[in-house]
Amino acid sequence: MNISIKEKILSQLINAKGEPVSGQKLADELNISRTMIWKHLKSIEEDGYVIEAIKKKGYVLQSIPDIVTPEQIIPNLNTKQLGRTIDYYTTCESTQIIAADKAREGAPHGTVVIAEEQTDGRGRLDRSWNSTANKGIWMSVIIRPAISPQFAAQFTLVSAVAITQAIQEVTNLTPEIKWPNDILINGKKVTGILTELQADMDIVHSIIIGIGVNVNQELSAFEESIQKTATSLKIENGEEIDRSLLAAKILYYLEKYGDLYVENGFKPIKILWESHNCTIGKRIRATTLRETLEGVALGITNDGVLEIKLDSGEIRGVYSADIHL
């Protein structure tokens, strides 16, 4: 991992949790002059951090800006590979497009593209994705698992489990997964996942997992047409959430469950997915590209396919659909 000196200084300030960090100690540890330490501190302040210099004691981090820069995410990160390279944008069209280009250019496993704002955020089925500036997590993760293309779709379910777990840990809310990959809180959508594949017939080159989490929006940030069906974590628990902490937790669980899946197959993921889901056992309407099916959701198969028992008694497997509960 290649951490810059500036990131190292910031990490030390964050980890000190309000206690002073000695300038001399930083200079000795990083093997640079006090003047260079001071220059890096100025640059950190320019990014919006407030640092107080206390005579004879050192530097205290007074407040951190609400941004999802690598400097903010990395100190919270507990992963081996995911998020060790982060490409950050204040604004971009879509992190998914940038990540797809980067993946084709050979970006390593675990590379993350993250933005404060997307001007052309993309959802499933070519829909647009509302990506309000500075209020959500809009990120795309490039992974290169050693699996064959037929299993790639299961990574959507791996991702849903990972994000659910991360939200639960950071907020104490109880999210539920609506098949295949919508995450709901109190029946409203808080997260969408868009998984895209770059592969040949028999080998996966990369999977790009696009994750959109509505974090700190007020209801008015959503277009009127989706105000009844969309929500944010802040609306649901009444508190601002630290977006960089949540992004780091999502990456942690994505790595954990991604590794679990590659090593042990879909079975353990299926159990986790089922424990969080709100689709199975319910009467649903599934709109696929070709037809609309109504019946009871029986469960998911070992491939992640949703099985529906129609009123006629016939059991049908659905690979991709919009589900209405």
Peptide bond into 108 cis (omega under 30): no
Q: CB-based contacts of 99: which residues, under 8 Å, 6+ apart?
A: 107, 111, 113, 140, 141, 142, 208, 210
Q: Which of 6, 39, 109, 124 binds ligand BTN (CB under 6 A)?
A: 124
Q: Which of 8, 22, 47, 123 binds ligand BTN (CB under 6 A)?
A: 123
How many residues touch ligand BTN under the rule CB under 6 A: the total is 21
Q: Is 194 helix (H, G, I), strand (E, B) or coil?
A: strand
Q: CB-based contacts of 85: which residues, under 8 Å, 6+ apart?
A: 107, 108, 110, 111, 112
Separation in Å, CA 323 to CA 181, 254, 309: 10, 24, 14
Within 135-174, the residues that bind ligand BTN by CB under 6 A are 138-140
Q: What is the Cα–Cα distance from 162 to 156, expressed in whole angstroms?
A: 10
Binding mask 194-233 for ligand BTN (x = CB under 6 A): x---------------xxx---------------------
Binding mask 179-198 for ligand BTN (x = CB under 6 A): ---x---------xxx----
Task: Tell me whether residue 11 or residue 320 sits nearer to ligand BTN (CB atom).
Answer: 320
CB 273 within 8 A of CB 320: no
Q: How far is the CB of 248 from ligand BTN (least distance, A)?
A: 16
Within 65-104, the residues that bind ligand BTN by CB under 6 A are 94-96
Q: Is 253 in the site for ligand BTN (CB under 6 A)?
A: no
Query: Which residues of the shown chain bind ligand BTN in the complex (CB under 6 A)?
Result: 94-96, 118, 121-124, 127, 129, 131, 138-140, 182, 192-194, 210-212
